[in-house]
Structure 1
Amino acid sequence: MVKISPFIISSAVVLCLAWAGWTHAQDGLVEPNVEVKTVFPTKSQDRITNLGRNSVLVEVENHDERKYQVERIRAYLYDPEDFTKPLRTLEPARFTTPLPSQGTVKLPYRFTPLLEADQATLTIEVEFSDKTQGNTFTLAAFNGTVTIVEPSTLSFDPQLWSIYLFIVGVVAGVGYWAKLTYLDGGVKKGGHPSVVTLDKSAQNNDWLPAQADSKKGKASRADKKKQT
């Protein structure tokens, strides 16, 4: 029978207790006292527009005594019946936003989905870190089923409508210029150009040179002599 030294047994017990304490400390770091949530716009509650620019507000509230830093926001679209693999991985947003102790930060997140489905499960995750100990944590800010709607062709887009108004203004200006140039200044539609008839008796010969006027007088006297 092999005898185990009491020193070895006590050393093993100390090591086990140390391992248990270290594991407990690690478990405490994995679960920081931080709360995250996602706020959708009122008009699009739990709805996202396919091929459209969707915006949500992610709130991160720190109830812990430690300070953190928000690193990024990620989002995924899953099949409501299958969570093994995301259907779409949406574009992430990177941050370097400090999260003070007992503080709250609100971060905008915008994404453009491309998915041929009526419904999907949207998962939004917030990744933040503890700079003092070099740990990174990830919490779900939203995980629920959303309705995917197609973009409306009649939706109000200020930028698009400003382009339309600019084009209409240019066309109207060109049309008005053409009217003034070619219609009002030229021949009226359906009319004929007016003909001006000069009265020979009212002609003014003052502008003729004196020599031409004297020749005209001599020619008239010669015609009278021939007649007599």
Structure 2
Amino acid sequence: MRFVRLSSTILSLAILATSVAAVEVIQNVEITEPEVVATAAFAESNPFHQIVNGEKNTLTLSVENKSDRNVTLVAIAGSLHHPDTDVLIKNLTSLNYNMPLIENFNINLPYMFYSEFKPGEARLNVWLEHAVEDQKYRVQVYDSIVTIVEPEISWLDWKMWSTYLVVAGLLGGLSYFAYMTFVPQPKKRSKKAAPVVSAPVGTVTATGSGGYQEEWIPEHHLRKGKKTKQTGGVTSGTSADEMSGADASGTEGKKRKGRK
């Protein structure tokens, strides 16, 4: 009985030891992470680490796989946080690569993002994700305070001036339309044109001390006047002929009386 108990005890201890060793191996496998080294930096033209609103901001990442395992670079992403409270402001663009990282080979990769935030200081956090056998890991790439600024205004920026002109034209057109639509307009007083007296052009016929212009007299009155003149001329001619005939007959009578 003692031998059986001793054997069962030894067997139990052996099983327990095996289980502990297996758990330790599993934990070591899970904890073991491939050594991937990555750093990020702004361009030399941006020594103060400024992020310009409305423009493309670029970080250059230097990535190297120092392990002997097949590592795949999945993506590069970032976020902005409050500098004092570390509260998340907004997540930035996530760039997917899905490319293998060759062992002991250093590559440079760009990370580009746009900013539309309130000017001031913020903490920029950038990381990359890589995977080994469907197991994903994250490596911190950049974590520092940056300054968000507005773009500098250039007086030679034709794009800006054209935008201002278009906006000003639209506002001016809308203002004029609203003024003509909603503001009562004063009525315009029509000025009567003074009659224009034209200078006499035609021939002026004088009668007595005054004269008149034939262009201002209706045509039928002119015709009547002409007929009257013609009738008077004929009558005067007839009376003159009759008078001359009477004088002639009187003279002839006198001559005959003298001969007798």
TM-score per shorter chain, which class? 0.5 to 0.7
User: What pairs up with 1:28-107 in 2 under 5 angstroms?
Assistant: 28-29=32-33, 32-45=34-47, 46-83=49-86, 85-107=87-109
Q: Residues of 1 paired with 2:28 and 2:60: CA distance?
A: 34
Aligned to 1:167: none
> 1:88 touches 1:115 (CA, 8 Å); kept in 2?
no
**How many residues are aligned here?**
155
Cα drift, residue 90 of structure 1: 0.7
Of structures 1 and 2, the one with the larger relative CO (CA 8 A, separation 6+) is 1
Structure 2 length-normalised TM: 0.54
Structure 1 length-normalised TM: 0.62
> 1:66 touches 1:100 (CA, 8 Å); kept in 2?
no
> 1:74 touches 1:124 (CA, 8 Å); kept in 2?
yes
Q: Residues of 2 paired with 1:160 and 1:41: CA distance?
A: 26
Aligned to 1:139: 139
- Segments of 5+ residues of structure 2 without an aligned counterpart are 163-260
Which is greater in Rg?
2
Q: Residues of 2 paired with 1:156 and 1:144: CA distance?
A: 34
- Segments of 5+ residues of structure 1 without an aligned counterpart are 165-228
Q: Residues of 2 paired with 1:147 and 1:18: CA distance?
A: 51
**Structure with the higher fraction of residues in helix conformation:** 2
Q: Does 1:6 align with 2:23?
A: no
Structure 1 segments, 4+ long, off by >4 Å, are none
Aligned to 1:114: 116
Q: Residues of 1 paired with 2:115 and 2:29: CA distance?
A: 40
CA RMSD of aligned residues (A): 2.4
Cα 1:126–1:55 shift into 2, 3 Å: same
3-state SS of 2:26 partner: helix
